[in-house]
Structure 1
Amino acid sequence: GVQIVPEEDEHKFPFDLLDPTKMIPEELVPVEILGKMTLNRNPDNFFAETEQVAFHPGHVVPGIDFTNDPLLQGRLFSYTDTQLSRLGGPNFHEIPINRAIPEVTNNQRDGIHRMQIPKGKVSYHPNSMGQGCPFQAMIKEGGFASFEERIDSSKIRKRSKSFFDHFSQATLFYNSMTDHEKRHIQNAFSFELGKVQLVPIRQRMVDMLLEVDEDLAQKVADHLGLVPKKLPQPITGSIPADGNPDDHHSLKVKLPITEAPSVSMANKLPTNIKARRIAILTADGVDDDAFTKVKKQLCEMDAIVQIIAPRHGFVTTKSGEQYPVDDSLLTAASVVFDAVYVGGGESVNTLLEHAGALHFVAEAYKHCKPIGADENGAELFKKAIPHLKDAEDGVITNGDLDEFTGAIMLHRFWDREMNPLPA
C-alpha cells in the first residue's frame, strides 16, 4: 500500500538522468516525481502480494513515455518474457496484486491461469461479430499518446557517451550516507568479496571501488589483505569487435550536487513508535506495572507489544493476576523486535538464571536496539552485557517510559558497533 504525498523541503529531482550535468526545471517535472511514496501498510500475505508482483517498465501511465536509452529499450519487451516464466503463463497481469483497478476490456482471451471470464466470440480487431468492440481509447479519453520528438540523425549501433559514466551516481550515493551506513557498505563488500575464492577477482573489484571512493576501497582492501590500484582504461572489457578501445574509456561526470541527504535512511527517523514491535521480557512474579503501565502506554502509542517468557502459557504477576504469553524464549528471537523492555519484580531472578533471556537481551544490545527496564530489571543488563556503562544512549535503567519511547524513535544506537559484544 502506498500513497503519494507532497514533499516540501527535499531536493526534488535534481538532474536529467540522460545528461547529469543538466538540471531539470521544476515546472517540467511530473507531479508524481515531486512527491514521495509513503509505505502505509505491510503485505497481508508476502507471497501473494510481493513474490507475485510483476514489474514491467513497459507499463506506463498517460503522460510518461520512453527515452532512447538502449538498456530501457531492451527491457521494454524482454520483461514480458521474464514475467511469463516467473509467474507461469500469459495472464500474470490478472493475478490480484497485478490487476488494474478499473476493468480492462481488450481482446486477450484464454491461456493458462485465466482469471476473467470474457463474453463474446471474438479475440481480434477490427471485427464484425462484436460490432468492432472493444474500441481503442482516444487520447481525449485517456488513451496512450507517444511523445512527438523531432529526430534528424543517423541510426548506428553505438552507445551514447553518457553510458560510460559508470561511477558518478555510485559516488553520489556513498557520499550521501552517514558514517554508520558507510561502515555497513564497507562491511557488506568485505563480507561478499571475502567469499570469492579467486584473489585476482577480489583485487579487480577492490580496484573498481577506488573509482567510487578512495576511503571505501581502502577499508574493503584492508579487510581482504589487498592494496587498491588504479585500473587501466578502458575499465570495462565490453568492447565491440570493431570498436576502438579509446572510445570506451570510463568517465565520471561532475554532478550538480555532491550529496543528497534524503537518500540516507538515517535521515528519515519517525516521530512516533507506531507499528514498532516491542518485546516485554518477563516471568512469574513480575511486577503488575509491566502490564498495567508499560504495556498499556506502549499500546496506546500504537506499538505492537508481545510478552516473551521462559515458557508458553501464562505468567503470574506479583499480585496473582495471569496474562497470556505471546511467545517463549525457546522460539522467540530479539532480531524480530525493535526494542526490549524487562519487567521488574521476582521474575528478574528467574531471568538471571535463564541463558535464553541473557542471550535475548545481549543480542538486542549487539544489534544497537533500545533496551529498557526499571532498576530491578536492569540487573539482567549487567549480567548479559559485561562492558555496559552506567549511562549509555539507548539503555534505560530507571523505568522511565518517556525515555524508553524516545529511544525507540531514534531506532538504533550505532556507536555500539565500535565496541561490540563477543559473538
Structure 2
Amino acid sequence: MTTNVGRKISNDEEQLKVGPRGPSLREDHQYLEKMTHFVKEEIPQRVVHPRGYGAHGIFECYQSMKHVTKAGFLSEPGKITPVFNRFSTVQGRSGSKDTARDMRCWGAKFYTEEGNYDLTTINNPVLINQDAMKFPDAMHAYFNNIRDDMPTASGAHDTFWDYVANNPEGLHQVLWIMSDYGIIRSYRMMSAWSINTYLFVNAEEVATFVRFVWKPVLGDHALLMDEAQKIGGIDPDFHRRDLREAIDREAYPEYELGVQLIPQEDEFKYDFDILDPTKFWPEELIPVELVGKLTLNKNVDNYFAESEQVAFSPGNVVPGIDFSNDPVLQGRLAAYLPAHYHRLGPNFQELPINQSLCPFHNNQRRGANRYRIDVDEVWYHKNAIANNTPFTSTPEEGGYVHYPEKVEGRKIRARSKSFMDYYSQPRIFWNSMSPVEKHHLIEALSFQIGSCIRESVRQQAVNILVNVDKELAYTIADNVGVERPPGNNVSVSTRYPSLSIANSPNYAYTQRVGVLIGNNFAEEEVLEEINQLMKQGVFVDIISQTLGTVVGNQGTPLKVDKTFLTSSPYLLDSLYLVGGDFANEKQSYQDMMYYTDVMYQHFKPIGIATDATSLLKIHKQNNLNGVIFAKDNPNFSQEFLVAIAKKRFWDRT
C-alpha cells in the first residue's frame, strides 16, 4: 500500500498522535490525503437520469446501408463496433429504486473508426414536450416537491399532474409511463426509441429522415404495479442486478437495431408532423428495417469510472448522420456539453470511458484535469511552425460536412400548427392496448391521480383524460372521487398491434425459477427437472429453510442458493414446488404457501412436484391455468417449460 504519490505506508489504521491517547498531529499528511479524498469523492449527479447502470458490448452490422448513409459502422455486413451502454431511470436520484414507474433512458456510445457516435434513446417513442424550452418545466413538475423533497422517484403528486393537465402535449408520454412500459421487467426486455428525428446522408448528399429503435431479442415484458412497488423495497437494485447477473452467466442480452426511414419528398405525407417528438412513427405505416445486433458481453469493472463518468451527447455523430429541425433535438444539442462540463470538467472527453478509440487531434491544451501531455508548442490554426497541423480533412478524407439544407424564414417564438393534435395518437395508443394492459393503465392512473392531495388537481387530470377515452375518464373519476368530466374522446378508431406488449415474443430463456425444496426430496424426478430447466437457459434458485445443502432420498446433496427469508416470491418469474423434510415443518409450510399464494395472485406459472401435491388445497380438477402437476403427467417437463415461457396466465380463475 502506498500514498497517492507512491510512498509506502506502514500503518493505515491510526492517525499520527502524541502517545496512544494524545491529540492528533497536523503534520499527518497521510491522514489528510486519505480523508480529503474521501470527502470529495462524489461528483454532481446528473440533473436527470442520475440512477443508471452500464455494460459493454459489440454491435454487428447486418447489411450495408450505404444507399442511405455513409456512416462507416453501417457500411458492411459483419462489421463489428464496440459499444458502451448506460441504462437509467429519469426522475429518481442516484439512490432511488430501479423499479420506479418511470421512463428509462438508454445511452449507447459507439466507438467507431470515424469517432464516437452517441445514440440516446428512451423506452417509449414519444416525449413529454414539443419544444426544448419546456423541458425544465416538465422536469420541475415531475421532480420531488420542492418544499418537502417528496415523493422519491414517483410522479404520484400534485405538481406533476397539475403540469399534465395544463400542458396537453405531455399527455401522450404520460400514458406510456402509466402503461406496462413504465415498469419494465428487465433492461434485457426493453425496447427503446430515439424519439427525435435525425437525417441519414449518403455519399451523393441525399438526405433521408430517420428514427432509431432498439428491439430486445427476448421481447418487451413488464412487472405488475404491486410487484414493482414491493421489489423496490426488497431489492432496490433489481434491474442492475438482473443485467449484471445475466452477463456474468454468459446469457448475454441481445438487441436488434432498427431504423424507420422517410424520404424527404414524403415529409408531409402523414397525418402527424414527423418532426414532432410527441408523436410516434407507426411501424405499420413506416416499417422498421433491422440493421444490426447489439450483444452486451462485459460488465463494468468500476461503476464510478464507467457508468458514472460516461458522458453522452446527441451532438456526437459521425459522417452520414445529421440533425433535423426537430425542436427538441435542436435544444438538446445545446444542453449536454454544459452539463458534462459541470459534472466532469472541460476535459471529460479524455476520461477512458469517453475517449474515442480512433486517433484524435485538435488545439485544446488546457483546462482542469488535463490528462494528456502534449509536447508541441503550436496550439492554434492556421500555422507554419508545425506545417499547419493538425489540419482539417476534406469530405473525401472523412471530414464531417453538415447536410446543406436550405433554411429561410423570420425569427419568431412559435410552434407549428401541425404539432397541435394532442389527442389522436394517445387515443390510438389506448385503442392498441389489450384488455389486460388497459386494466393496468387504469390501475396506475387511479393510483397516481388518487395520490394527489388537491381535489382540483385530480379533477383537472380526469378532465384531460376524457379526450383520450370517455369511459377511461369516467372510471378514473369514480376511483379518485371527482366529478365525471363533460365532453367526449376524439373520434379515432385506429389501432396498431406493434404498440402492445401483449404481442411480444415469449421465451423461457433466463426466466428465474424458484425451487422450494427440503431434505429427502425425490431425486430421480426433481434433479432431472432441474437439469432440464438449466439446459434451456432458465435461471434456477434453490430455496430452502437454511443455507448449506439439502439431501435427496438417495443421498445426493443439492446446494441451497437462498433461504425463504433471503429470497422473495416477488423476485421470481415462476415456482417449482418440491417440498421435503424441514427442521421446522410448520414454518417451512407457511413459507411455501406464502410463495405459492403470491405467485398465483400474480398470474405466474407454478410447477408442482409429485410429492408436493398434498401440500396444496388445489387439485387437477380445478383446471388452474399455469399450474402444472407432475403427478401422473409424463409431459410435465415440457408443459412447465411452455408455461414458464408464457410468463402470465391472465385468464386464471
Matched AA of 1:21: D
Higher helix residue share: 1
User: Quick one: distance in 2 between partners of 1:414 and 1:14?
Assistant: 39
Of 624, 628, 633, the match for 1:396:
628
User: Quick one: distance in 2 between partners of 1:142 and 1:252?
Assistant: 50
Report if aligned partners of 1:283, 1:350 keep a CA contact under 8 Å in 2.
no
CA offset digits 1:118-149 (Å, max 9, x no partner): 66455543345544333333322333222222
Q: Give the match for residue 375 of structure 1.
A: 610
Q: Give the match for residue 300 of structure 1.
A: 535
Q: Give the match for residue 502 of structure 2.
A: 266
Higher strand residue share: 2
The 5 Å alignment of 1:309-348 reads 309-343=544-578, 345-346=580-581
Of 29, 34, 58, the match for 2:315:
58
Distance 1:230 1:90, change over 3 A: farther
3-state SS in 2 of match to 1:319: coil
Q: Give the match for residue 443 of structure 2.
A: 187
Q: CA deviation at 1:327?
A: 0.9
Distance 1:329 1:163, change over 3 A: same
Matched AA of 2:558: Y
Distance 1:66 1:349, change over 3 A: same
Of 513, 521, 532, the match for 1:286:
521
User: Quick one: distance in 1 between partners of 2:555 and 2:609?
Assistant: 20
Q: CA deviation at 1:190?
A: 1.3
Matched AA of 1:306: D
User: Quick one: distance in 1 between partners of 2:537 and 2:425?
Assistant: 38
Unaligned runs of 5+ in 1: 233-250
Unaligned runs of 5+ in 2: 1-56, 64-214, 216-255, 275-280
User: Quick one: distance in 2 between partners of 1:205 and 1:17?
Assistant: 34
Report if aligned partners of 1:393, 1:413 keep a CA contact under 8 Å in 2.
yes
Report if aligned partners of 2:468, 2:490 keep a CA contact under 8 Å in 1.
no
Q: Give the match for residue 197 of structure 1.
A: 453
CA offset digits 1:270-320 (Å, max 9, x no partner): 3x3222222111111212136530111111111211211111111111111
Of 380, 390, 396, the match for 1:134:
390
Matched AA of 2:454: L
Which protein has greater RCO, CA pairs closer than 8 Å, 6+ apart? 2
Of 424, 429, 439, the match for 1:173:
429
TM-score, normalising length: structure 2? 0.52
Task: Report % sequence identity.
Answer: 35
CA offset digits 1:341-373 (Å, max 9, x no partner): 112555699487433222222222222211111
Q: CA deviation at 1:107?
A: 3.8
Report if aligned partners of 1:269, 1:411 keep a CA contact under 8 Å in 2.
no
1:223 aligns with 2:479: yes
3-state SS in 1 of match to 2:445: helix
Distance 1:143 1:258, change over 3 A: farther
Q: CA RMSD in A?
A: 4.0
User: Quick one: distance in 2 between partners of 1:119 and 1:201?
Assistant: 63
Report if aligned partners of 1:351, 1:380 keep a CA contact under 8 Å in 2.
no
Distance 1:92 1:230, change over 3 A: farther
Distance 1:3 1:227, change over 3 A: farther
3-state SS in 1 of match to 2:467: helix
Q: CA deviation at 1:101?
A: 4.6
Report if aligned partners of 2:310, 2:354 keep a CA contact under 8 Å in 1.
yes
3-state SS in 2 of match to 1:135: coil
User: Quick one: distance in 2 between partners of 1:308 and 1:17?
Assistant: 57
3-state SS in 2 of match to 1:377: helix
User: Quick one: distance in 1 between partners of 2:269 and 2:310?
Assistant: 31
Greater shift after overlay, 293-302 or 72-81? 72-81
Q: CA deviation at 1:114?
A: 5.4
Of 354, 358, 362, the match for 2:597:
362
Q: Give the match for residue 641 of structure 2.
A: 405
Matched AA of 2:622: D
Q: CA deviation at 1:186?
A: 1.5
Q: CA deviation at 1:336?
A: 2.0
Distance 1:287 1:107, change over 3 A: farther
